[in-house]
Amino acid sequence: MPTIFSHVAVPLATSLGLGKIVSRRLLAFSAFCAVLPDFDTIGFKLGISYASQWGHRGFTHSITFAVAVALLAICFSRPLKSRAWVVFLLPFVAVVSHPLLDMLTSGGLGVALYWPYSNERLFFEVRPIAVSPIRIANFFTERGWRVIKSELLWVWLPSVILLFTLRGMRK
Ligand SMILES: [Zn+2]
């Protein structure tokens, strides 16, 4: 995966771009949604294999999962203090952006984007994002620096462009 911070960049940029129609609670919830798919790493502890549809980068990394989370979120429009369509859109974008970013990474297995129709593990043709080291200490190495540089270029820069595009569209 890209680092947790970079997964959060997408809902953060989308929220800031959309402006006041996104409540703080919805922003916080969407940031959580962006890292939610990787809770599937629990599967490793439970003995589920990486390649299984229930394993890491399996069903939680699919479009279907993103739609399900977003539909569920609509039920909480009131506590999330935003209109239903925004409560659908933002968590959907947050969850679905996660596997799409994973598909740009240079390591591991691909993601089961089209689950349950297919368990094929997919990557993009081009994979410029260096896979992030698991341990924090490893960030202060040359490899860590390479990860940070690739994420600034391939995640943060497009996110900033997205933010200003959305702002421009609002005017
Ligand atoms: Zn992931």
Residue that is written with structure tokens 């999330």 in the block: 80
**How far apart are alpha carbons 167 and 171 in whole angstroms?**
7
Distance 83 CA to ligand 1 centre (A): 28
Distance 171 CA to ligand 1 centre (A): 35
pLDDT-above-70 percentage for the chain: 95
Distance 118 CA to ligand 1 centre (A): 18
∠ CA 9-69-47, nearest 5°, is: 90
pLDDT at 52 over 80: yes
Domain boundary assignment for the chain: 4-170
Report pLDDT digits (tens) over 74-88.
Answer: 999 999 999 999 999
pLDDT at 1 over 60: no
**Which residues have a Cβ under 8 Å from the Cβ of 15 and sit 6 or more positions away?**
22, 26, 27, 30, 90
Identify the sign of the CA torsion 55, 145, 161, 105: negative
Distance 61 CA to ligand 1 centre (A): 7
Report pLDDT digits (tens) over 78-115.
Answer: 999 999 999 999 999 999 999 999 999 988 899 999 99
pTM: 0.90
Distance 63 CA to ligand 1 centre (A): 13
**How far apart are alpha carbons 142 and 5 in whole angstroms?**
19
